Structure 1
Amino acid sequence: MKPLSLLLPALIPSWNFFDVIAPSPRIEYALTASSAVPKRGWTEFRPRPQRVSARTLLARLLWNPRWNETLFLVSCAERLINAPTDHSQDEIFTRLAADLTADGATGDWLSFRLVFVSREDEAIQREVLFQSAPRRLSVIAAR
């Protein structure tokens, strides 16, 4: 009977799995020509598609490494808000730089910020909770 009581929580998930249900931070980045902190020109990193076909959805159930990496970045962003570490910031910078250089992005300095988006009545509220200091894109990409 004891093994069954240990196995049941794994088979039947609990609604108390999450301590807190809160909005997930969105990562936005900016590429600039100088080391000044950008005021505008922010772009959402890996925005969700508006629509996904049934075929793509089924394929993603079996193989979706890009989404797994995006979930890892979200967990790094959440850690950066709750308990800031250089590791979380470095991971976000590294993966941003890898994607941007693979896409042929131009700019010398890379910054990112974490934005929480929420709805109040009919208005969409955006709150910036963290903004990184700019780093040279070429240095990050060389790692």
Structure 2
Amino acid sequence: MLRLLSLFLPTVIPSWRFFKTVAPSPRIEYRLIEGESIGDWQEDRPRPTHLGLGQVLRRMLWNPDWNEQLYLVSCSERLIEAPSQHSVDEINLRVARTLPEGAQMLQFRLVFLSREGARLVKLVEYESTQVALASLQAVAA
């Protein structure tokens, strides 16, 4: 019985040693490029500033958008640690899926935000090459 209890307790009470390190997660920013016109960097899937109680409860049970966001964070972290074309392709595809058609090229970058005193500092860790948006949206569809 004690053996069963020792196996069950870690599933109920989380361990703070689950993660090897706790560090800021990279954020994805993108910009659209049309010919000579280069757009400003925009945050991909910004978090809402306010959620009502009903939205919070619903998100606890069903939140596929957040699951996809966690997947993008995982791809971003892997891209920083061990760059691979797979991570670049996944980020490009998932960012392109949320954008309206019309722009010619897409470019993304990974940034880390840190606090130094009272100000926020943005460190750009990775910047992708430009990719044709139409080809990405055709694959994503």
TM-score where L is the length of structure 2: 0.90
Structure 1 unaligned runs (5+)?
A: none
Measured in 1, the distance between the counterparts of 2:26 and 2:101 equals 23
Residue 107 (structure 2) aligns with: 111
| 1:97-143 alpha-carbon deviations (Å, 9 max, x no partner) | 1111xxx2531000000000111101110000000000000111111
Measure the CA separation in 1 of the matches of 2:133 and 2:36: 11
Question: Is 130-139 or 3-12 further displaced after alignment?
Answer: 3-12
SS at match of 2:75: helix
Aligned position for 1:64: 63
How many pairs are equivalent? 138
The 1-side partners of 2:28 and 2:69 are apart by 10
- SS of 1:84's equivalent in the other structure is coil
The runs of 4+ residues in structure 1 deviating greater than 4 Å are none
Q: Does 1:82 align with 2:81?
A: yes
Residue correspondence of structure 1 range 12-27 to structure 2 within 5 A = 12-27=13-28
Which one-letter code corresponds to 2:58 in the other structure? A
2-side partners of 1:35 and 1:68: how far apart? 36
The Cα offsets for residues 61-96 of structure 1, whole Å up to 9 and x where unpaired, read as 111111111111111111111111111111110111
Higher relative contact order structure (alpha carbons within 8 Å, sequence separation ≥ 6)? 1
Contact kept in structure 1, 2:110 and 2:125, CA below 8 Å: yes
Q: Which residue of 2 aligns with 1:141?
A: 137
Residue by residue over 1:3-55, the C-alpha shift from the partner in whole angstroms, topping out at 9 and shown as x without a partner, is 4333332222111011111111110000002499x6x6100001111111111
Unaligned runs of 5+ in 2: none
Structure 2 CA distance for partners of 1:113 and 1:35, relative to 1, 3 Å? farther
The CA RMSD over aligned residues, in Å, is 1.8
**Conserved 8 A contact 1:77-1:114:** yes
Q: Using the aligned pairs only, state the percent identity.
A: 49
Name the aligned partner's letter for residue 30 of structure 1.
R
